């Protein structure tokens, strides 16, 4: 089985390659190694993945339709897992053009080529950010997501809409995954878990927005990759009970599905920091700040529909996951 993974040197992408390459899959990875965060970390992830004979890497930008098309033609994948994106909520305030280029143009390039090459299962990354102004938690895929509060969230919502049009017009099975605050070994340096841990270890103050009055559904990387692995053999299908007079938000008469992937446990930010302090044995210095533009107060994932589909629920507790994350951090940075 040939699988094409975009964003294969990213956090989730590289972790997924590491899992799938140990199985009976032949994998092509695409990444342009953008400098949004530490490129050396991305290259180290790539080096780790290149130990597998079943993995082949292509360095290119998904906005380059011609080069991307050549990979499709040469590799001939059966499944596409599209994880490449310009990520980050706050950065979208500074550089909105990069989100339009990568998350809209790039996404359309990948899904258009998937349609042309008759891909059997198209899985792509959405985000919990699409819930935007919603305050009814836990977030359910049955809720409407019409009020994004960041451009990043808006581009992810647009991905879901574009995917639906391709599923409807061309019967391309598409599955969108709304990730909830993923953390763990090889994690992203721009995300709160990594920033907090790095600051604590280095003795720097942590900037804590909204005075710490946030809650997040922190989700360990292994639970994310296991869910995706199970979805590989379960492409989206049409909802046989679809009622166009009373449409619902997570399925369709087309082979299009949307799922949350989260831990099912929303953790207070200050408790999360306390757990890092306990694991490292270091008390943090805290710099309490007001609410930042684009932030949401609480994320909490209702994943019951995904659990029914793949017969799996997250297994890693926040205590266990943070312990593994801190151990990796110390080893990687030789602390």
Catalytically active residues, by annotation: 152
* Cα–Cα nearest to 62, from 29, 37, 88: 29
Name every residue whose Cβ is closer than 8 Å to that of residue 334 and which is 6 or more positions away in sequence. Answer: none
Task: Report the DSSP pairing between strands 256-261 and 219-220.
Answer: unpaired
Q: Report the C-alpha gap between 5 and 229 in whole angstroms.
A: 12
What is the DSSP annotation of 102-165? IIIIIHHHHHHHHHHTT-SEEEEEEEGGGGTT--SSSB-TTS-----SSHHHHHHHHHHHHHHH
Calculated CA dihedral for residues 318, 321, 327, 332, nearest 10 degrees: -120
* Cα–Cα nearest to 305, from 266, 261, 268, 273: 261
Q: Report the C-alpha gap between 224 and 221 in whole angstroms.
A: 5
Residue carrying structure tokens 């205590």: 319
């Amino acid at each position: 089985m040939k699988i094409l993974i975009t964003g294969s040197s990213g956090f989730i992408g590289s972790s997924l390659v590491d899992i799938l390459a140990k199985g009976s899959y032949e994998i092509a990875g695409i990444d342009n190694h953008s400098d949004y965060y530490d490129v050396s970390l991305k290259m180290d992830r790539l080096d780790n993945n290149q130990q597998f004979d079943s993995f082949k890497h292509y360095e290119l930008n998904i906005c380059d339709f011609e080069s991307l098309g050549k990979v499709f033609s040469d590799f001939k994948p059966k499944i596409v897992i599209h994880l490449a994106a310009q990520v980050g909520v706050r950065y979208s305030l500074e550089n909105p053009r990069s989100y339009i280029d990568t998350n809209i143009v790039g996404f359309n390039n990948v899904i258009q080529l998937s349609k042309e090459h008759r891909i059997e299962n198209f899985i792509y990354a959405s985000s919990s950010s699409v819930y935007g102004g919603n305050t009814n938690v836990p977030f359910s895929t049955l809720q409407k997501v019409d009020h994004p509060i960041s451009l990043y969230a808006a581009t992810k919502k647009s991905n879901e809409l574009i995917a639906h049009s391709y599923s409807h017009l061309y019967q391309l099975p598409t599955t969108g995954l709304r990730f909830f605050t993923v953390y763990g070994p090889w994690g992203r340096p721009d995300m709160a878990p990594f920033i907090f841990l790095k600051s604590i270890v280095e003795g720097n103050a942590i900037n804590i927005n909204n005075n710490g009055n946030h809650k997040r559904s922190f989700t360990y990387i292994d639970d994310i990759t296991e869910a995706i692995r199970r979805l590989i053999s379960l492409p989206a299908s049409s909802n046989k009970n679809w009622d166009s007079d009373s449409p619902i938000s997570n399925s369709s008469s087309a082979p299009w599905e949307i799922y949350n992937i989260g831990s099912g446990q929303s953790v207070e930010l200050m408790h999360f920091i306390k757990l890092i302090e306990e694991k490292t044995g270091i008390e943090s210095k805290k710099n309490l700040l007001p609410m930042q533009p684009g932030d949401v107060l609480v994320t909490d994932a209702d994943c019951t529909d995904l659990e029914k589909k793949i017969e799996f629920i997250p297994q890693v507790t926040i205590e266990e996951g943070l312990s593994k994350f801190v151990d990796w951090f110390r080893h990687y940075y030789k602390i």
